[in-house]
Amino acid sequence: MTTPLTALTWLYVPGDRPETVAKALRSGADVVIVDLEDAVAPDRKEYARSATAELLAEPPPTPVHVRVNALAGPFADDDLRALTGLPGLAALRLPKVTGPTEVRQVARRMPDVPLYALLESALAVEQAYAIAGAHPALRGVALGEADLRADLVVRDDTGLAWPRSRVVVAARAAGLDPPVQSVHPDLRDLQGLARSCARGRALGFLGRTALHPCQLPVIERAFLPTPREVEEAEEVVKAAAARGGALALPDGRFVDAAVVAAAQRTLALASRSPA
């Protein structure tokens, strides 16, 4: 099973469409995110919840996260009740988190379930580090960019530059894995997806959520290390093993523990099987 650090593709699928969920589990995505929130109409919530509980009565072939409804809304309590104790639940994704208290409440209620917090408002971005360090059960934070755009009243990526960097820094400062990039909503624009992934990778994101299986190969290619990056990482790890401590490579690069750890992450990614 793919570990969180080497997971690059995270596919959203509506929880009220079991046949689509079944296809998603065979899509090659590293993680399937069954959505009980935005993708499900209010009159379909109960059915989506029941279908998801049935799916997760046994561990599925691909790790399944479930995005529950907003904790402050009328559906989340029933979501959490239905999901408690299910052996196939790999993690919960908590939308519209605005502070650490919400994370702690869910962690107390479901103590053995890994959690991921989605930051979708200006207040959440301001609280990013507090949320990221809220509880040991929290394994990651990410932006929900559609709602964040609306809250910030911005139309293009320029207005999201600082929030994106903020969530990357907050995650790493709290000792979490690099955050996963938010979805690219235009399913037809695969070239634009590739360019956007490249920008996200440059900012420090690792992997991306997707809305359709056609996006998965593009995302994986964008975030896998290049042959040159693998070669450089191998040089760093080999030199560190031979000499230990901080050192300078023949090309002048200075290597310390943080550089070695980054090189090891690169090699872990390079070792994964293509989707």
Task: Please state the rounded mean pLDDT for residues 234-253.
Answer: 74
Higher pLDDT, 249 or 181: 181
Per-chain mean pLDDT for the chain: 93
Q: Which residue is listed with tokens 């359709």? A: 212
In sequence order, what are the residues at sequence separation of 6 or more whose Cβ sits closer than 8 angstroms to the Cβ of residue 226?
none
Task: Please state the rounded mean pLDDT for residues 150-154.
Answer: 96
Model pLDDT, residue 252: 64
Model pLDDT, residue 52: 98
Q: Which residue is listed with tokens 């605005």? A: 98
Report whether pLDDT(2) > 50: no
Q: What is the DSSP letter of 274?
A: P
Model pLDDT, residue 248: 65
What is the residue-wise DSSP string for 22-85?
HHHHTTT-SEEEEESSTTS-GGGHHHHHHHHHHHTTS--SS-EEEE---TTSSSHHHHHHHHTT
What is the rounded CA–CA span in Å between residue 12 and residue 31? 9
What are the beta bridge partners of residue 40?
A: none
pLDDT tens, 91-105? 999 999 999 999 999
For 252: left if phi > 0, alpha if psi spans -120 to 50, otherwise beta; the answer is left
Model pLDDT, residue 36: 98
47-51, 94-98, 153-157, range with the lowest pLDDT? 153-157
Q: Which of 247, 198, 196, 249 is nearest to 226 (CA)?
A: 198
pLDDT tens, 262-274? 898 899 989 874 4
The CA–CA distances, whole Å, from 52 to 5, 30, 83, 107 equal: 25, 18, 8, 20
Contact 34, 67 (CB under 8 A): yes
The CA–CA distances, whole Å, from 22 to 64, 105, 106 equal: 11, 31, 27
Report whether pLDDT(275) > 80: no
What is the rounded CA–CA span in Å between residue 220 and residue 68? 26
Model pLDDT, residue 1: 43
4-18, 53-67, 181-195, 256-270, range with the lowest pLDDT? 256-270
Model pLDDT, residue 24: 98
Report whether pLDDT(236) > 90: no
Q: Which of 63, 67, 29 is nearest to 48 (CA)?
A: 67
